[in-house]
Amino acid sequence: MSKSSGNDRSILNPGGYEKSRGLRQLTTGWIKPYRGWLMGILLSMLMESLVSLAAPWPLKIVIDNVINEHPLPQGLHWLRSLLPGDQFMNLAIVCGILLVLLTAIGGLASFIDNYLTEYVAQNLAKDLRREIYHHLQSLSLAYYDTHQVGKLLSTLTTDVDTIQEFISSTILNLLVDLLTILCMLGLMVYLKWDFALICAGMAPLLLLFMLRFKKEVKKATRELRMDQAEMISVMQTGLESIRTVNVFGRQELEEDRLKRVNDDTVNAALKARKIKSIVSPVFALGVSLCLAFVLWRGSILIRAGLMTLGTLTVYLSYLNKFFSPVKDLAKMTVGIAQATVAIERVQQILTADSTIADNPGAQDPGTMKGEIVFEHVFFSYIPDIPVLSDINLCIAPRQHIGICGPTGGGKSTLASLIPRLYNLSSGQIRIDGINISDLKLAELRKGIAFVLQDTMLFFGSVSENIAYGRPNATEEEIVQAAKQANADEFIRKLPKGYGSLIGERGITLSGGERQRIGLARVFLRNSPIVILDEPTASLDSGSEKLLTEAMERLMKDRTVITISHKINTLIHCDKIILLKDGMVAGEGTHQRLMAENPFYAALNQN
């Protein structure tokens, strides 16, 4: 039996996915294809750290061994004899060249590191967007009944960007920074161990402070992202339904709505920023404490002749640099917090399991004959609120069935179950004797064509819109379909005929014209099963006539289910099913129902 629709984890158990999986998923799953590139990044980063470790040494040599003429350490004598002439000045020139060389190497490594990191981050974001979009496309419509498109869009854009940012700014720095810190500590201990202890003592204090911080940052970020998504959602709904907004003169209401979420977003952003902004000052304070100590103690030692000025210079330069990876680590906790929230939100979409997918061993129905059987079909959108109960129907190939009944009776729902837009709660639907959940979804849907109450047109030419259900159709086929749908005439009168653009910045069509384009789509698709869900409901009688005429042409040699609350449009059906409160309340020809079913007769009166 198929799972109840609407039963996806994120509704029943918001945030109930494994949180800790976030970063691990990122590192093991998404990053995996880029291992080679990451190695390159790591190498160039290591090179950068080495350079930054070596950078103060030429200065130290110049101060100590050139200016103050201390003897060079044993291992470094060769530096002096690299150039002929005055040994002290040679040493200074060699040091200068070394300095430039180091900078050049560091610059090259940094260039490679930056470029490769951006490459990985951009490509990973691309993969991620595709994965999310693919998953969204495969989700059951039930998911969209409970999730706002604006929020999904916000994850597809902002959250993916955050993850990308995190990768390009943070991920490997972590490793390299730790390494740099260790190396610096080693060198500092070698130079003057008691100084090193000060720094070593301060670092864990600062890190500890940061860890406590991370939780707060994460919480604030989560709130901020929720508000931002809400804001996009509000704007999107407001703009999408701008026609209704105008008709009811509710622009102010919509603007108020935006103002509220807009304010919330600002407040949340300020709160998050406040928390994040405490990091730098606290760090600067820690660093200055260390610096002050080193300056004071260093002066004493130099004056007593126990330390060289060069060593103090190296020390001060290391101290500055030492805290920058520590600070990076601290900032990273902010980055990690933000990325974790983004990954959570992405995973919320990716783990939504209300997908409708092919069952293992799904069959290809081949050319459908068009027999449809409902057997004890139960369905509900929301668990425990039944919309359809125990529906049993038997529709023969090429039979014309009418479904009528009061609004909200479940007519559209029943029709949407046939192409498996939703999974059944229980029971089964068979087409040509095969359970639809054992059919290949794409093939099943190819066999069924819909005309709905309102035809959705996409931005593009009239031809493209007609060919939406069969993109490889030829121009003649498109024109033929339009002719059959009584649409050819009005299309030819458009400024550019079949090439006229519809939708955004294109021409607008009347309701009747849109419906005939919808019908042309169905003619072109040429499916053996056709479902007409109140296609004339919103039309005036003039356009209704043109449409009805075309529909009669369409119905020939196909299984047709016509849904309508107007009984007069169903009189010619082979069989009419009366659907009331999600149950079949009568079944038969128009004449028989009129004679035997008082409710049907009453419906006919209206």
* Interaction site with Mg ion (CB under 5 A): 412
Nearest to Mg ion of 127, 454 (CB atom)? 454
Residue 419 binds ligand ADP, judged by CB under 6 A: no
Pairing of strands 529-533, 388-395: unpaired
Q: Parallel, antiparallel, or unpaired: how do β-strands 400-404 and 575-580 relate?
A: parallel
State which residue, 43 or 141, has the beta carbon closest to ligand ADP: 141
Q: Is 180 in the site for ligand ADP (CB under 6 A)?
A: no
Closest CB 410 distance from ligand ADP, rounded Å: 4
Count CB atoms within 10 A of the CB of residue 491. 25
- Using CB under 6 A as the binding rule, whether residue 606 contacts ligand ADP is answered as no
Residue 7 or 123 having the CB closest to ligand ADP: 7
Binder to ligand ADP among 65, 413, 423, 465 (CB under 6 A)?
413
The per-residue DSSP string of 76-95 comes to GHHHHTTSSS-HHHHHHHHH
Between 331 and 411, name the residue whose CB sits nearer to ligand ADP.
411
Tokens for 418? Answer: 């046939």
Where are the extended beta strands (E) located within 104-154? none
> Which DSSP category does 510 fall into?
-
CB of 126 to ligand ADP, least distance (A): 32
Q: For the segment 354-383, give every residue that binds ligand ADP (CB under 6 A).
A: 381
Under the criterion CB under 6 A, does residue 145 sit at the interface with ligand ADP? yes
**62 vs 448 by CB, closer to ligand ADP:** 448
Interface residue with ligand ADP among 286, 310, 402, 410 (CB under 6 A) is 410
**C-alpha span between 280 and 269 (Å, rounded):** 18
Which of residues 120 and 448 has its CB atom nearest to ligand ADP in the complex? 448
The option from Mg ion, ligand ADP, none interacting with 286 (CB < 5 to 8 A, set by class) reads none
Could you tell me the sign of the dihedral formed by the alpha carbons of 266, 271, 273, 274, in that order? Answer: positive
427 binds ligand ADP (CB under 6 A): no
Helix (H/G/I), strand (E/B), else coil: 379: strand
Query: Binding partner of residue 199 among Mg ion, ligand ADP, none, CB under 5 to 8 Å per kind?
Result: none
Choose, by CB under 6 A, the member of 411, 525, 575, 590 that binds ligand ADP.
411
Sort residue 526 into left (φ over 0), alpha (ψ -120 to 50) or beta.
Answer: left
Strand order in 372-379's β-sheet?
A: 388-395, 372-379, 426-431, 434-435
Report what 186 binds from Mg ion, ligand ADP, none; CB cut-off 5-8 Å by kind: none
Residue among 304 and 385 whose Cβ is closer to ligand ADP: 385
379 to 408, contacts with ligand ADP by CB under 6 A? 381, 387, 407-408
Question: Tokens standing for 307?
Answer: 């330390």
Helix (H) or strand (E) holding 112: helix 87-138
- The item of ligand ADP, Mg ion, none sharing an interface with residue 413, based on CB under 5 to 8 Å by kind, is ligand ADP
Torsional sign, CA 474, 466, 130, 348: negative
Q: For residues 373 and 432, what is the distance between their CA atoms, to the nearest angstrom?
A: 8
Task: Specify whether the CB–CB gap between 337 and 217 falls below 8 A.
Answer: yes
**What is the DSSP code (8-state) at residue 507?**
B
Residue 58 contacts which entry, Mg ion, ligand ADP, none (Cβ below 5-8 A, type-dependent): none
Which C-beta is closer to ligand ADP: that of 298 or that of 586? 586
Q: Which residues bind ligand ADP (CB under 6 A)?
A: 145, 381, 387, 407-413
